[in-house]
Chains A and B, each alone.
Chain A
C-alpha cells in the first residue's frame, strides 16, 4: 500500500531534550516536506526536500533541522525543543515538485513541557 508513515504518532517531552520524528514514504517520491499545524494558522511549511541531499527552508524553519540521506526518509529533528514547538506535525511527499499532489502522513502530535 502506498503510504507516508510517521513515528511516533504522539510524543510528550520536556524543554531541551533532543528528539527526532521520522518520516518514510514508499512511493519513490522525490519531493518531501514537513508542516506544522496550529489552530487558526493552518499548515505552515517547515522544510522541504527536492531529492537526496537537497533541502531548503520553508516558512517556519527556526528550531528545526532535517536531513535527506535516503530518498524514502526525511526525519525532522528538534535539537532543543521549546514549548512553542508544541504542535501537530505532518510529513508529506509528492512525485517531483510543488506542483504535484502531496500525500500526507497521519501526523505526529508533539507536546513540549
Chain B
C-alpha cells in the first residue's frame, strides 16, 4: 500500500531563513505527489503537485519541491520564509490501483520566529 512519511512533526525557522520540509513516499510506480498547506483555522490548499517530467516543481507562494526517485523523496523548499508561511504542511499521494483513495502524511507544523 502507498504511504507517505513526514519525519518532522514541528519545525521552527527564523523569518528570512531557508526552509526544507521532508516527505518520503512508498509507491510501486512513479507516483503522483502533492503538497498542501493548512493555515490556522482553515482548510487545505494545494501548493504544488508532481505528475511526471521535470523533477523540480514550482508552486504558489514561492514554494518548490524536488522529486528524487533514488531517495523516494519529495521535499518542499522555500529560499526565504515569511511570517505568513507559519502553517501546517501535508504531503499526499493517491493510491495506485482501482481504489480512489488519497493518503496524506501526518503533517509538519512550521513556526516562524522574527
Q: Interface on A for B, CB 8 Å cutoff?
A: 4, 31, 33, 35, 40-45, 48, 50, 56, 58-59, 90, 92, 97-99, 101-102, 104-107
Contacts and interface: CB of A to CB of B under 8 A. Distances in A.
Report, as a range, how many residues of chain B touch the other chain. 20 to 34
Contacts of A58: 101
Contacts of A40: 9, 106
A100 B94 CA distance: 9
Contacts of A106: 42-43
Contacts of B36: 102, 104
Given A42-B107, A43-B90, A104 B101 contact: no
Interface of B: 6, 9, 32, 34, 36, 42-46, 49, 51, 90, 92, 94-95, 99-107
B102 A104 contact: no
A104 to B, nearest CB: 3
Contacts of B103: 45, 59
Nearest to A107: B43
Nearest to B104: A43
Contact of B100 (A42, A48, A59): A48
A91 B58 CA distance: 26
